[in-house]
Structure 1
């Protein structure tokens, strides 16, 4: 029977030693310095993001596109010549009043047909003589 008071005493001691516990609110602390976190976290977060980034941007430089300087020059020269040809064709199909003249204009590679539709509408059909492909659009001249 002597053990029973000893058990009560030990329970009292254990409950007395545990003390009182207090709870507090949880507080959010951001990691990212952009959102108010510690600025020392910036390099670490950047390195982690770069390690996960597998995207490779395609460079517009000549070496990445596979074109040499000569190829680029030839491409620009061809564009300039085509621009002059299109200007010459445009001057032959545009009247002095600035309106398109119905008819057919042919170059070595293209056939341009301008057809007068009703109500001042014109249809322009461009045909590639080599491939047979056509493009067309309509213009209102009023």
Structure 2
């Protein structure tokens, strides 16, 4: 019985055929068949969880022109202030240490031995940040 099993196993091994595996991409973007494009698109669309008619997106009619102008003005003032801060440290500005308030941003500039210490506080969110601009004191 043992010999019969050995003989069947030996014959089974000799009749095994191997074949070469060839990868063929499905996506046409990676060399696949171009006729798969429509099937892939419909499959992706059916799995899409986002609605194109969603009102949460960016809509120009939702902008208030006064609010937009105020935001733009705040950005310009903060940009000018930061330009003056760096210009002052490198010899081009006239910014003096002190406190500045821009809407909900409270900015305090202090001259220290290491340079300028800039403390920034957002009074709406409570977020704080400190920046040290190195320079002579």
TM, length-normalised to structure 1: 0.50
Greater RCO (CA < 8 Å, at least 6 residues apart): 2
Question: Mapping of 1:91-130 within 5 angstroms?
Answer: 95=88, 97-99=91-93, 100-107=95-102, 109-119=104-114, 121-129=115-123
Find out whether 1:28 has 2:21 as its counterpart. yes
1:29-44 aligned within 5 A: 29-33=22-26, 39=33, 42-43=36-37
Structure number, greater radius of gyration: 1
SS in structure 2 of the partner of residue 123 of structure 1: strand
Question: Relative to structure 1, is the Cα distance of residues 68 and 77 closer, same or farther in structure 2, using a 3 angstrom cutoff?
Answer: same
Distance in 1 (CA, whole Å) between partners of 2:64 and 2:92 is 35
The RMSD of aligned alpha carbons is: 4.5
Structure 1 runs not aligned, ≥5 long: 1-20
Query: Does residue 1:139 correspond to 2:133, yes or no?
Result: yes
In the superposition, relative to structure 1, how do residues 123 and 68 fare at CA in structure 2: closer, same or farther (>3 Å)?
same
Report the number of matched residues.
118
1:89 and 1:125 map into 2 onto residues whose CA distance is 13
SS at match of 1:104: strand
Unaligned runs of 5+ in 2: 1-13
Task: Summarize the Cα distance change of 1:46–1:117 in structure 2 as closer, same or farther, 3 Å threshold.
Answer: same
User: Under a length normalisation based on structure 2, what TM-score does the superposition of the two structures give?
Assistant: 0.51
Matches within 5 A, 1:42-81: 42-43=36-37, 46=40, 49-50=43-44, 53-56=47-50, 63-65=55-57, 67=59, 69-71=61-63, 73-81=65-73
